Chains A and B, each alone.
Chain A
Amino acid sequence: MRSTEVAAPPHATFAAEVRDLSFSYEDRVALDGLSLSVPQGSVFGLLGPNGSGKSTLLSLLAGLRAPAGGELRVLGETPSPALRARIGFLFQETSLDPLMTVREVLWLHGRLFGLPAPVLRRRIEETLATVGLADRARSSVHTLSGGMKRRLELARALLPWPELLLLDEPTTGLDPDSEQALWSELERINREGATVVLATNKVAEAERHCGTVAFIHEGRVVAQGPPAELKAGLKRDAVWLEGLFTQDLVDAVGAWPDVGRLTWAPPILHATVDSASTFVPRLFQAAGDAVISVRLREATLEDAYFDIVGTPIANGGEA
């Protein structure tokens, strides 16, 4: 593992501790000796492509599946149905009955979590106000917009005061305003003490909101640390080149002084550089017709991920 981390303070307690965790779906390995520690009170990101094992890990943390091997402690306990009283789970797919009303959704959930009726009535009002749905309590779910449905699901996850919030791609399908509103709430909840574990394949989301990020690839953690540490060694700009490059050319480019990390995963040559505007013309001079396409942007965690794994997050696995 490339990392940096696990730089938690010596006396830190962990909301989740995972060692050598393994799990398979029939003939497909989903988790393959995965290890990580989630500090209590943190916003912890699991960043990886679809099919890398993020959702499986969340379901194991929630005790919805049993691991085939390894050790797993969540909030100091072995996962069990009873422990789920302390965990909120926001699933990747919409999980709402369109025929129920907003209040019925929350009422059912609160009763499933054993909340007494008077407490639940008050809590429903609070959470609906928190997510901005107080005026939609009597609305049927099918009349809500996509963003409202997601906020309702967040309200449902928050209803029983979870100490650990598991979020599986919470902002998928949301417009920027809804996404921002959702994260405002999540950050507030985190400030109040809840630990947030976010599974995502959105690099910007992980970079912006997570104190620690674990890169997940084929069921393993390949790097882990604060985003700034994971990006250490990256230069300002990222250049993605597709082409028929020779190894000699790659070696030569890697020796240029303005080039930081350079990864050659044919046909992709990926480099972070001080300035793309000076690097690219020089590369064309050196490589000529071998260059098929060029993509430039500011270096992000995706570049760090590519450097380590050799495949981009967007194409790294199957759903």
Chain B
Amino acid sequence: MIAAERAAGGPVIRAAMACQAILGRDLRAVLRSRSQLYSSLLFPLMLLAILGAGVSEGLDPSSSRIRDGDYTSYLVPGLVVMAALFSSTFSSASYYHDRDSGLLRVMMASPHSPRVILLGKALAGVLIGAAQGLGLLAVAALIPGINLEWQFGAAPGFLLAAGGGLLLAVFLNGFAQLMAARIRTMQGFHLVMNLVLFPLLFFSGAFFPLDDLPLWLKVAAAVNPLSYAVDLVHIAAYTDTNGHFGLAVDLAVLGVLAPAVFLLGIGSKKGAE
């Protein structure tokens, strides 16, 4: 044999093939893991039903940001972000599964730099995170009683939300890679991710409007990347205003932060090892 048959294309094409193969494998793994698939969709829907209905009916959501006191519809963008967040975190944890099963070592022994392998895994996480967030948005949009605004129209609004979801997933997977590079066990990874990401989620406007918060919480929200993703999905799907920060600011912050954190995560040497 067979040098001619050995490999296709140049280094970039082979790296793309490797990323595609890893991405395909990770997608298949998620599709096979029914419990992960269903729980990532059902948990936000359950929150939507319980928390949304409870607050709408039992409390008085009188903020001007909650249209007609319909807290359930208000929750949708926040839960889209939450679904993307959970999915991205779970996908990133597959790094540990692959490491413990030995598969990561085999992938590292392929003719690619470790960064190509991490890129493939991170891209899979991005796709899975964004898809699950947007899947939830699509399901929510079909539920009677949930009133989304789609101020730019349903299709452009969904595309805008998709862009936001994608940027968010890019950010989250980069962040998760950075964490995975520093944490040795999956248990530790989940603990740290929960400790970091849950507060970020709470102070993002996912569960309550940011406008009426005390100043210190507004500051916390302003430095929280998730706030911009929630705001963007609000603008795309829920509100007929320009949101809390404004669409341009949301896109600018996510557009700069997401690739930067992603590249940092992929470049993380410890993670590659």
Which A residues contact B (CB, under 8 angstroms)?
62, 64, 81-85, 87, 89, 91, 93-100, 104, 107-109, 111-116, 119, 156, 160-161
B2 at the interface (CB under 8 A from A): yes
Closest approach, in angstroms, between the C-beta of A155 and any C-beta of chain B?
A: 13
Cα–Cα, bound, A115→B9 (Å): 9
Name which residue of chain A comes closest to B10, CB basis: A114
Q: Which residues of A contact B21 (CB under 8 A)?
A: 107-108, 111-112
* B196 contacts the other chain (CB 8 A): no
Residue in B closest to A141 when the chains form the complex, CB atoms: B101
Residues of A with C-beta under 8 A to B7: 85, 113-115, 160
Q: Do A112 and B103 have beta carbons less than 8 Å apart?
A: no
> What's the minimum C-beta distance from B98 to chain A, rounded to whole angstroms?
7
Taking a contact as CB atoms under 8 Å apart, the answer to whether A114 and B111 are in contact is: yes
Residues A108 and B25 in contact in the complex (CB < 8 Å), given A85-B111, A115-B6, A161-B2: yes
Inter-subunit contact A114/B2 (CB<8 Å): no
Tell me if B195 is interfacial: C-beta within 8 Å of chain A: no
Q: How far is the CA of A36 from the CA of B13 in the complex (A)?
A: 36
- Closest A residue to B98 using CB positions: A97
Binding site for A on B (CB under 8 A): 1-2, 5-9, 11, 13-14, 17-18, 20-22, 24-25, 28-29, 32, 97-98, 101-103, 105-113
Quick check: B14 and A114 within 8 Å, CB to CB? yes
Report, nearest first, the 6 A-B pairs whose CB atoms are least far apart: A95-B102, A114-B7, A111-B21, A112-B110, A114-B14, A85-B111
Do B111 and A109 touch (CB < 8 A)? Answer: no
- Let me know if B105 and A91 touch, CB within 8 A: yes
Q: Could you say which of B97, B98, B102, B112 contacts A81, with CB atoms under 8 Å apart?
A: B112
Closest to B15 in A: A114
In the complex, are the beta carbons of B102 and A161 less than 8 A apart? no
Given the complex of chains A and B, what is the CA–CA distance between A190 and B78 in angstroms?
60
- Chain A residue contacts of B103, Cβ below 8 A: 95-97
Residue of A64, A93, A97 touching B109 (CB-CB under 8 A): A64
A-B contact pairs, 16 of them (CB 8 A): A81-B111, A85-B7, A91-B109, A95-B106, A97-B29, A100-B25, A107-B21, A108-B24, A112-B111, A114-B7, A115-B6, A115-B8, A116-B5, A160-B7, A161-B1, A161-B2
Residues of B within 8 A of A113 (CB): 6-7, 110-111
A114 & B9 in contact (Cβ 8 Å cutoff): yes
Min distance, Cβ A17 to any Cβ of chain B, angstroms: 21
A65 nearest CB neighbor, chain B only? B273
Q: Which of A84, A93, A99 contacts B110 (CB 8 A)?
A: A84
Tell me the complex Cα distance, A294–B9, Å: 63
